[in-house]
Structure 1
């Protein structure tokens, strides 16, 4: 009986610590973010570009930006742009530039893509797996090569 009481007290003391054990989804996200870092990408929380109805349907806290840093452009200005994935096609925000060809090779679940002076990248909710991260990295590498040529 004494051992049962001791085991109960120890279990009661350790129970709050189980709150810090990562869930299955958190472990999957950590693996994807680690795979992104290994492939040269950086990961940030960002809001979707633009102010459209599509951006209002996505929770603010759930949008992640996977980006690839670009070398500084010397003397020439790099074009800024953003495209939203809506109704099965890329739609430009701001200036009506066509979406880069590299965006056609992205995995499902991508919400938007954007380029600025520092990086090019995609916005999504990490709905894929490590294979999706590899596809994103390849597409961003192709896009960066087009931007820097």
Structure 2
């Protein structure tokens, strides 16, 4: 009986520590980010491109995850900053005249937007997908980098 009581007290003392164990979803997100990093991407929080242009401070709080591929500096004229939003399966540029990038067809449905600037090209999403989606994103961004840099 003493041993059972000791075991109960030890379990009671260790129970709060289980709060710090990562959940299944947190482990999946860590694996997705690690896969992206190993394959040459960087991951950071950014505002969605359309929201970043808004002047209302309440609307600027919509940060999502950006998976990006760093680009070498352009020679001569710098790259123009461009962004496209995925809405109902259609890609639309922030400027209506911008055509969607060729990689947009290869991206998973969970992607919210894509963008390019002088330093990187990448996609915006909420990591709602799986590791297979990250593999699609890596392949698409590698192809986009090749198209931009030649």
Q: TM-score, structure 1 length as denominator?
A: 0.89
CA distance in 1, matches of 2:95, 2:9: 62
Which residue number in structure 2 is paired with residue 100 of structure 1? 101
Aligned to 1:60: 62
CA deviations on 1:62-92 (whole Å, 9 max, x unpaired) are: x211000001112221121001001221011
Gapped regions of structure 2 (runs ≥ 5) = none
What's the CA shift for 1:138?
Answer: 1.1
SS at match of 2:47: coil
2:144 is aligned to: 143
Q: Which residue of 2 aligns with 1:86?
A: 87
TM-score by length of 2: 0.88
Number of residue pairs the alignment of both structures matches: 144
Over 2 Å off, 4+ runs: none
Residue 134 of structure 1, CA deviation: 1.1
Residue 18 (structure 2) pairs with residue 18 (structure 1): yes
Contact 2:41 2:68 in 1 (8 A): yes
Question: What CA RMSD, in Å, does the superposition of the two structures yield over aligned residues?
Answer: 1.9
Alignment partners' CA distance in 2, 1:128 and 1:13 = 37
CA contact (8 A) 2:89 2:109 kept: no
Structure 1: segments with no counterpart, 5+ residues: none
For 1:8 and 1:47, the matched residues in 2 are separated by 48
Give the deviation of 1:94 after TM superposition.
Answer: 3.5
- Secondary structure, counterpart of 1:50 in structure 2: helix
